[in-house]
Structure 1
């Protein structure tokens, strides 16, 4: 029993170990695109177009210039336009600012550093030394997270250029560890960083800035206390990564700016803490690279800067540097199979030393079929930094093939191996063999020599009359380099001056055929009797399209011809309308109208005889209420008359609903007034 348990445990342990090893050696397909020399030239032209000769800056501000200079220095542009003018203008703005705006100082100092204008300078040449000390001290102690990170970067930049005095160093150095504690205290439970402690939650931009600043501090201070705090931050990196938006082949955080900043910060952290490499995988670096390469067409200096910064971090980092395998060309003729070429490059299209093996080659139409070849090693050609394979003796027919390449870089510390599938098409001409047109009363008699007509490729059969009670069959084979070939599209075209139809040929056992009866032909040709030309049409991406007029047949149909017009002429449609019902004479309608209006006439005549007494007409508010009430009643009457003459019920009801509000209000007030008036008169009596 113990032996069985021991065996089971051994098997489980071996499975776990093999699984973990397998996960470590899992390869990716690499990146599908690169940032080429043409892309670099395009972004150079874009940056140059933003230079303002009047302000001596890129764009409209020092921040835009920070972006523009950052791009040019990172792509290796050594001859930056008007470097002296930019440095001079930057220094003037720093002096005018008097070290009050931390962001402007950060942008200005970074510009001067990247243009190498800080060499041999001191911070006093940029402004008052005391003001700089106060700015850095204040922001490190009381600033927001972004202000702290900017202060740290300013301090390190000036220190690296030896452009800061010892007094400032003695003041700022003790504050750095305090700044680390302060920044880490701003980390939220989800791993993101708040700007200030009173914020409800953190965001990814703050997180990216914190990662980069903490990495610089850890590298500079070399303190166990700082390393522990950085480790605390690293423990939350997986939670931050989980917030990324992921598609099939790309990964990003909100937008280009956030993705670039966060990648820069994460890879900076990885340089001081090895555990980051356990969280970020090679696949994720490739996915981020794919996202970045889709953002080539930048529209602002900010986007250009963040794109280049992120691409540069992908090109050089301590976790994984993406590589690309690309075909020199994807279409070959049979005579060119001795020169199958590929290139292996990094994300900036720079060649990489590697060994390449063609793992397998299968037909694109049937990827799960048995490989046509496997284990073919490619040779390196130093003339154009490509890898070449000679497949002229591998018996590859015309068609498309999936080539699986295994790339093993020489520098395994920087690059991971990839397995990449590319489609290569072998194209050329085809021939048609064994073309036969047969007809017979029964299908089992179609092979009879008496009713079989053969024709050589390129020639044409004479007119053949096919009886209406016979079955006909067109049979042929397609070959390439004396080998059977299955094309993507093969059809038979029947056409005459009156009708035309194309039917697909059926492929079976290395041959094509199309069998039809008189009824089938009647259906596709509209039962139009007559002579029909026969064309064979062959189409495929790997061959030159072929159309061959190989014969002519006569067909007779017993059925009447079906019109070709999609919309045949129809007989006029007649409708029987209902006879209008008999109505009463107009005189009766007029009499009814007079009866309806007679009360109004009686009222007017009565006023003339009886007279009117306005002596008791109310005064004050009663007057207003009464006039409003009478006005609303009159408006209601007019509305009813308007409906009777030409309006609709829908409009009338809407207007009546609006009138009911003032009518009820004024009516209620009027009745209340008269009620109170009557009560007071009774009391007097």
Structure 2
């Protein structure tokens, strides 16, 4: 099966559930073991080079292995299910779910700035329907997202949306929230709104501010006034009692930095804190004179207290979470963190003086939003992008993100290790230097291979790169520790880079495979009966034969480019019977040599006493091994004894779901040849004969002297007579339509209505004729 999902290193194992009855635990870094399911996962890079799962053996039940090759040229997953373990084979679907869960957790730990992937996702998530994105709130979120990402080829919804905006602003029934959403949309679309409309809204909003009692009332009304001031030339638009409104909003704050939605609601909320900070920022901007600095300082202290409750992930990401649960729509960490960041940015923009927030928490918030990846929900996507835009423009500290285009370096191709430093939205960073503090192998943390190396800068590609690696660097996993140093001292007060950044790098290369041989041994003496040399890098077609009293031995050596012995994550031998029953055996490592000896006398029961031809396949793979192999060596013809009466039977073969549920074979139906038709002249002759009765009918009418003397002359009877004949003509036309295209039920339904109509008009005209006839006789 193919596995083409893009995955990003390094992998963080953040699973804490059970799967298929197997309880997961972490015996050492980078491994998950699920004993009940009989397999083990090793988790190096999944980006460019092969990623091979480590396997374990259960001598009774067999094994389940997974070979995941994600090289540049080949992206493929191969699975190997052991012979006797039905439970393990049945858990393969759950195992694939585990892979997907790991890839999600792993992708969440990578901090990459916003890229073109987000722009493509934005166009997919925000798609207009009937010229609109939906409500005005959803429209603003879509337009604001496009604006931040700089998407020029966005859907044009200005015509329909401006009409909705004008209607909302001109309606006296619009709530402060409706006005707020409409004004936010208008701030982007710049719709043509009359000045008289704004004048009427201002008076309504000022009255709403005076009578506001809840935090949301203040937020929408004051926010709308601020938007009107930004969109019009009314520089004299102010709040009459700005300090009083400021105190009213501040009265809803709590000692821990959180806020209440109203004085009647005792619950405090982190999400509400962000709303309150935005509202206070608008009050300050609408004040006719400077707000008391003591109140500004009090709010700054509230912000510091709020940041004391911030939570942290192990990867350095910080986030806010909502503590209140008894709310109609409980906001998650993304929405809550986004609310706080928007409020913080808005308040620090209008407040004078500095705010001594820990810069590592600002950087941690950036990592949190970037670590989400690309959300699949439009609301979450907007919260992510809008929050990152706030962080990029905030007056506290602008985060700089160190990222790597690739965490896999090929020693064979002599690739350079490259590093990028950008803002969260991918903009260029100020002049700086990237230093490699140290680099060490994950297997030897105390020994550094590189220390205090300054990376070179490529202005064309805007990347920092390491010129060359030491010759002692071999294939394997390494930890590189980077440090970003700003050139200008002024930038140190504007940007935050963090202290040290640890990145796991995988050095890959070609592993030499040598001294490979396969042999059949006598069971008693161990002497070699048949021996063949193998070229595992090429093609092999070995044919062997053995009985249950003999052994099969396979051995080879693996050497790294630096000449060291190499131990791959995965090395096992598979025997596949001609009945498609498979058996997998783990290769053992003894020093520099990998060797396995299969004693067929002890394996007859596991082999289900099946004699015949067994294909031999060798799998060797590792994340850092560029030439991982899946080699068909040949086959061995086994002669095993007859199975006892109570011997285990081979497991039923798995039915290929594609053959069961896939498309069936196409049925080619050949219609019989049409019958030979008569000559055209004969057909025309019979058609003419069919018309003869009609011609005879017309002649009979003329012979009988048919006339229209009895046709009613007065208006009402004449109308009924005409309708009667029209009805007769309609019935005849219905017969023609039935012959051409109508079905029986439609014809009968229509005929029922025509029959009632004909009965009515026919009865009236016949009554008239009978009355006229009686009058004529009496006269």
TM-score w.r.t. structure 1 length?
0.62
| Among candidates 251, 257, 263, match of residue 341 of structure 2 | 263
Contact residue 401 and residue 425 of structure 1 kept, 8 A: yes
Instruction: Decide which structure has greater helix share.
Output: 1
Maintained 8 Å contact 2:245/2:283: no
Which whole-Å CA distance do the structure 1 matches of 2:202 and 2:368 have between them? Answer: 38
Matched, 1:42 2:121: yes
- 1:125 aligns with one of 196, 219, 226: 196
Contact 1:473 1:515 in 2 (8 A): yes
> Does structure 1 residue 113 correspond to structure 2 residue 187?
yes
Q: Corresponding residue for 1:349?
A: 426
Indicate whether 1:511 and 2:511 are aligned: no
Is the counterpart of residue 150 in structure 1 residue 234 in structure 2? no
* Cα distance change on mapping 1:402 and 1:211 into 2, 3 Å: same
- Whether the aligned pair in 2 keeps the contact of 1:532 and 1:552 (CA below 8 Å) is yes
Q: Does residue 211 of structure 1 match 2:281?
A: no
Indicate which of 383, 394, 408 corresponds to 1:306: 383
SS in 2 for 1:281: helix
Deviation string 1:221-262 (CA, Å, 9 cap, x unpaired) is 597863322322333335545666765555343334443222
Q: Which residue of 1 aligns with 2:393?
A: 316
Q: Which has the higher contact order (CA 8 A, sep 6+)?
A: 2
Deviations along 1:324-376, one digit per CA (max 9) or x if unpaired, are: 44443455544322333343333323343543344455556x36474444444
Q: Counterpart of 1:581?
A: none
Q: Is the 8 A contact 1:180 1:214 kept in 2?
A: yes
Q: Per the alignment, in what secondary structure is the counterpart of residue 538 of structure 1?
A: strand
Q: Is the alpha carbon distance of 1:285 and 1:31 closer, same or farther for their aligned partners in structure 2, counting shifts above 3 Å?
A: farther
What is the aligned counterpart of 2:368 among 284, 288, 293?
A: 288
Contact map agreement 1:529 1:556 (CA 8 A) in 2: yes
Q: Distance in 1 between matches of 2:553 and 2:225?
A: 88
Which residue does 1:95 correspond to in 2? Answer: 170
Of 415, 439, 442, the match for 2:496: 415
1:489 aligns with 2:570: yes
Rounded Cα–Cα distance in structure 2 between residues aligned with 1:207 and 1:40: 30
Q: Secondary structure at the match of 2:433?
A: strand
- Partner in structure 1 of residue 74 of structure 2: none
1:163-215, Cα deviation, whole Å (9 max, x unpaired): 3374xx4xx44411111111112223443333443333343443222212323
How far off its partner does 1:95 sit? Answer: 3.1
SS in 2 for 1:191: coil
In 2: Cα distance, 1:467 partner to 1:165 partner: 98
Give, in angstroms, the shift of residue 419 of structure 1. Answer: 0.6
Equivalent position SS for 2:461: coil
For structure 2, the residue ranges without an aligned partner over 5 or more in a row are: 1-107, 322-330, 653-779
Q: Which residue of 1 aligns with 2:766?
A: none
2:457 match: 380
Structure 2 matches for 1:576-587, cutoff 5 A? none
Trace 1:400-439 onto structure 2 (pairs within 5 A): 400-408=477-485, 411-412=491-492, 413-417=494-498, 418-428=500-510, 430-433=512-515, 435=517
Alpha carbons of structure 1 residues 441 and 376: separation in structure 2 relative to 1, 3 Å = farther
2:254 alignment partner, SS class: coil
Other structure's SS at 1:236 match:
helix
Equivalent residues of 1:438, 1:472 under 8 A apart: yes
8 Å CA contact 1:467–1:556 kept in 2: the answer is yes
User: How many equivalent pairs are there?
Assistant: 517
Which of the two has higher C-alpha Rg? Answer: 1
Partner of residue 545, structure 1: 629
In the alignment, the residues of structure 2 paired with residue 367 and residue 359 of structure 1 have an alpha-carbon distance, to the nearest angstrom, of 16
Q: Structure 1 residue 312: deviation in Å? A: 1.0
Secondary structure of the residue that 1:338 maps to in structure 2? coil
SS in 2 for 1:336: coil
Structure 2 residue matching 1:186: 3-state secondary structure? coil
Residues 1:508 and 1:281: Cα distance change in structure 2 (over 3 Å): same
Structure 2 Cα separation of the partners of residues 567 and 464 of structure 1: 25
Partner-residue secondary structure (3-state), 1:352: coil
**Shift of residue 47 of structure 1?**
3.8
User: Quick check: 1:192–1:240 contact (8 Å CA) kept in 2?
Assistant: yes
Aligned position for 2:134: 59
Alpha-carbon distance between aligned partners in 2 of 1:376 and 1:358, rounded to the nearest angstrom = 5
> Does the aligned pair in 1 maintain the 2:476–2:507 contact within 8 Å?
yes
Q: Which moved more, 1:324-333 or 1:259-268?
A: 324-333
**SS of structure 1 residue aligned to 2:263:** coil
Q: State the alpha-carbon separation in 2 of the partners of residues 494 and 108 from structure 1.
A: 70
Report the alpha carbon displacement of residue 408 of structure 1 after superposing the two structures with TM: 4.1
Counterpart CA distance in 1 for 2:360 and 2:644 is: 75
Equivalence for 1:565: 649
Question: Residue 516 of structure 2 contacts residue 554 of structure 2 at CA under 8 Å; is this kept in 1?
Answer: no
Does residue 201 of the first structure (1) align with residue 279 of the second (2)?
no
- Shift of residue 148 of structure 1? 2.5
Alignment of 1:446-461 (within 5 A): 455=533, 457=535
Deviations 1:35-79, CA, capped at 9 Å, x for gaps: 3223224324544514x44xxx6424x444444443343334568
Alignment correspondent of 2:111: 32
1:126-205 paired onto structure 2 within 5 Å: 126-128=197-199, 132-133=202-203, 135-140=205-210, 142-164=212-234, 166=236, 169=237, 172-205=238-271
The answer to whether residue 151 in structure 2 is matched with residue 70 in structure 1 is: no
Residue 414 of structure 1 and its aligned partner are, at CA, apart by: 1.4
